[in-house]
Amino acid sequence: MGKPKILTVVGARPQFIKAAVLSAALSPVAEEVLVHTGQHYDAALSGVFFERLPIPQPDVSLEVGSGSHGQQTGEMLKRLDPVIASERPDWVLVYGDTNSTLAGALAAAKLGVPVAHVEAGLRSYNRAMPEEINRVLTDHVAARLYCPAPFAAHQLAREGITAGVRVVGDVLDEALGLVAQRPAAWLTALGVSPSQYCLATIHRQANADDRGRLAAIAAALGELALPVLWPLHPRTAARLKDWGIPLPSGVRTLEPVGYSESLTLIRHARVVVTDSGGVQREAGLLGVPCCIVRAETEWLDLLEAGRAVLVPNPLDLPAAVAAARPRAEPRRAAEGVAAAIARDLAAGSTQSHWDCHRPM
């Protein structure tokens, strides 16, 4: 009897990082087929992670590229369908809440393949967010739901989902050890000193695609009593350029950085200003205070532990940044996600799945 086969679907920057953690840990217990949808394709958003992280090159590249939500997700579904049908995996594994997550989950569920969702149970309760639609739908078709914390499992229970739910901890906890960070002296080349700058990242549709809001965020960053480093997501870079939004003198923009550089920038920041899910958690893990430029966050534990604050109005950023204080102690270590998946694979009956007849 061979190892069970997991087909993992990734497509966006944060998923490459999470897959790097799990791929290595899964290799003793499962054969993994890695499918890259091509949602992110720039070298700085995709290639750099495959070059520098311990993640295998994708077995299959769907090269879907950018588009409207429907067009992009539909194209992924169309291209995933034959891949899943021919690979005949025991599980399809998806991460997080992107269009690649939803497409992977839906394509698998329609073929009758059990879906495993890592980062299950998170909710913003804001259906205007494309990610909220993706995570709700993915959770409702998933057979295995790996939650980062108990609150996520409770949220699933409120939607009637209790079967297959496990609280396994946050996979990003383990990602922090994936790469060596840059020495603090590296910051000198960027014109800043440790603990004396703010790191900003902004890419959510509600911030980046709203002209007035993006201009207000850029202006507010210029009002901080600290120099600001702002690695730009291509969506944000394009909007700043298209709309001619001026960058204040204290704000230095950068190309997107690699994971080692990103962790270095977070670790040494006095404060982080972000709308990113991953960056807010990494700041929390590293004890760096975080201002979340949104009205809500899925990561309630960060708010409850006082590691992050919500700053929905960009005008409030200068005061929130000035009030932010670092935390000395690290966030609670998580139980390994890979260990839980390995237990489930060992316990579950994965072998017979493709023996069942179903129309294709």
Shortest distance (Å) from residue 177 CB to ligand UDP = 13
Shortest distance (Å) from residue 141 CB to ligand UD1 = 17
Q: Which does 42 bind (CB under 5 to 8 A by kind): ligand UDP, ligand UD1, none?
A: ligand UD1
User: Can you tell me the distance from the alpha carbon of 19 to that of 4, in angstroms, rounded to the nearest whole number?
Assistant: 17
Among 138, 262, 264, 297, binds ligand UDP (CB under 6 A): 262
Say whether residue 101 binds ligand UDP (CB under 6 A).
no
User: Can you tell me the distance from the alpha carbon of 329 to that of 213, in angstroms, rounded to the nearest whole number?
Assistant: 34
H-helix or E-strand spanning residue 288: none
Residue (297 or 350) nearer to ligand UD1, CB: 297
Residue (256 or 289) nearer to ligand UD1, CB: 256
Q: ∠ CA 226-232-238 to the nearest 5 degrees? A: 130
Neighbouring residues of 286: CB distance < 8 A, sequence distance ≥ 6: 176, 263, 266, 267, 330
Q: Is 117 a catalytic residue?
A: no
Instruction: Tell me the per-residue interface mask from 228 to 247 with ligand UDP, x by CB under 6 A, - otherwise.
Output: ---x----------------
Residue (66 or 162) nearer to ligand UD1, CB: 66
Phi then psi for 259, rounded to 5 degrees?
-70, -40
Query: Is the distance from CB of 233 to CB of 39 less than 8 angstroms?
Result: no
The residues in 70-129 that bind ligand UD1, with binding defined as CB under 6 A, are 97-99
Instruction: Tell me the per-residue interface mask from 19 to 48 with ligand UD1, x by CB under 6 A, - otherwise.
Output: --------------------xxxx--x---
Angle, helix 13-26 to helix 277-285, in steps of 10 degrees: 60
Buried b (16+ CB within 10 A) or exposed e, 160-179: ebeebbbbbbbbbbbbbebb
Query: Residues in the site for ligand UD1, rule: CB under 6 A?
Result: 12-14, 39-42, 45, 66, 97-99, 130-131, 203, 234-235, 238
Q: Give the catalytic positions in this structure.
A: 203
